[in-house]
Amino acid sequence: MGRNAEQLAMAGEVTAAARQAELRAEFEALYARHFAFVWRTLLHFGVPSAQVEDAVQDVFIVVHRRFDDWDPARSPRSWLYGIARRVAADSRRTQERHRRKLDALADVHPGSTRMDPRIRGRERLTILERILAKLDPALSEVFVLAEIEGLSAKEIAGVLDIKPNTVSSRLRRARAAVDRGLDRHDPGASSPRLRDRRRRHD
C-alpha cells in the first residue's frame, strides 16, 4: 500500500506540473496575441501614455492570477476588456489623488507647478480623441471597438454584455456625432472613410 501511495503521489505531482506548464504556455500565447488590444483599451479609458505600460502589466498580473479560473469558451477580449476597465479606473483614481496633492501644493506655493505652454501643446489630444471624449462613454466605447478595434456588432455585444440591437443603436449615434465633429474641423473629410467601414456592422 505504501508503494502504491507513493506512486500515486508522484503521478499527481507530474500531472500538476504538466498542467502548470500548459497554463503557462496558454498565458504566454494570450499575452502575445492581445497585448496591443489591452494597450489600446487602456489608452481609450484615459490612462496616460507615460503610464500605460505599467497599466498593461497590471492587467496581465490580474490575468495571470486568475488564469486558472478563466473559461476558454468565453471571449478572451471580453475578459481582458473588463479587467482593463477596472485597472484604468484605479489609475484614474490614483491620478486624481495626485492632482489634488499638486493643487494643494500650488495653493501653498503659488507658481511652483506652472506648466510650460509647449508641454501643454504636446499633450493635446488628436481631433478624434477630443470628439470621443465629449461623447457619452457608452457611445465612445462602442465606436472605438467597432471603428478602431474592428469588432463586429456581435463581438461588441459579447464584450460589453449588451444586446446586438443596442450595439447598433449606439454605434449609429456615435458615428453621427463623430461625423459632425470631423466635418466641423474639415467639412466632408470623414464621411467616406467611416461609410466604408459601416458595411461590416450595419
Q: Could you report the per-residue pLDDT of 58-104, keeping only the tens digit for each?
A: 999 999 888 877 777 778 888 899 899 999 988 877 666 655 544 44
Say if CB 95 and CB 87 are below 8 A apart. Answer: no
Condensed to tens digits (0 to 9), the pLDDT of residues 1-15 reads 455 555 455 555 556
CATH 1.10.1740.10 domain span(s) along the chain: 1-121
Mean pLDDT of the chain: 74
Would the CA dihedral through 66, 71, 77, 82 be positive or negative? negative
Condensed to tens digits (0 to 9), the pLDDT of residues 51-70 reads 889 899 999 999 988 887 77
* For the chain, percent of residues with pLDDT exceeding 90: 20
Condensed to tens digits (0 to 9), the pLDDT of residues 147-179 reads 877 888 988 888 888 899 999 999 999 999 988
Say if CB 170 and CB 138 are below 8 A apart. Answer: yes
CATH number for region 125-202? 1.10.10.10
Q: The whole model's pTM is what?
A: 0.52
Architecture of domain 1-121: Orthogonal Bundle (1.10)
